[in-house]
Amino acid sequence: MSAAGGGLDLAGQVSQTGGMSQPITPPQTDLFARLWQAQAGDCALCGKAMPRSRFEVAHAAIWKKERPTFDHIIPRAAGGPDRAENLQLAHARCNKRKGKAQTGSLGRVRT
């Protein structure tokens, strides 16, 4: 069983209460806000701006690809912790791409 990428899916991580099924809303957590601020809303992988909410983009399909997700700097597969110092925000699609590229190709991972 291999985890597809180092990405934490925001939607899967925080269970939103309240019955509204909007699985692609970013969580308004401290961690998210801190990372967002530190990166000025830019993707850590491609450097372009990320939409902060679904309503900043025209279509749900765009949001799905461009929404900010937590990216593990050291992938969990390589022992990276689920902690702030190992997390950065990246577009969902960049995160996904990185996850693929990372498998086995970067050589040694520092711990």
Residue numbers of the site for Zn ion (CB under 5 A)? 43, 45-46, 91, 94
In b/e form, how buried is each residue of 23-48, taking b as 16+ CB within 10 angstroms?
A: eeebeeeeebeebbeebeebbbbeee
Nearer to Zn ion, 16 or 48 (CB): 48
Say if residues 91 and 42 touch (Cβ distance below 8 Å): no
Minimum CB separation from Zn ion for residue 105, in Å? 19
Nearer to Zn ion, 46 or 57 (CB): 46
Q: Which residue is nearest to Zn ion (CB)?
A: 43
Place of tokens 């925080």: 14
Minimum CB separation from Zn ion for residue 67, in Å? 11
Q: How far apart (Å, rounded) are the C-alpha atoms in residues 57 and 67?
A: 9
Minimum CB separation from Zn ion for residue 72, in Å? 15
Minimum CB separation from Zn ion for residue 21, in Å? 26
Q: How far apart (Å, rounded) are the C-alpha atoms in residues 49 and 70?
A: 15
Nearer to Zn ion, 39 or 103 (CB): 39
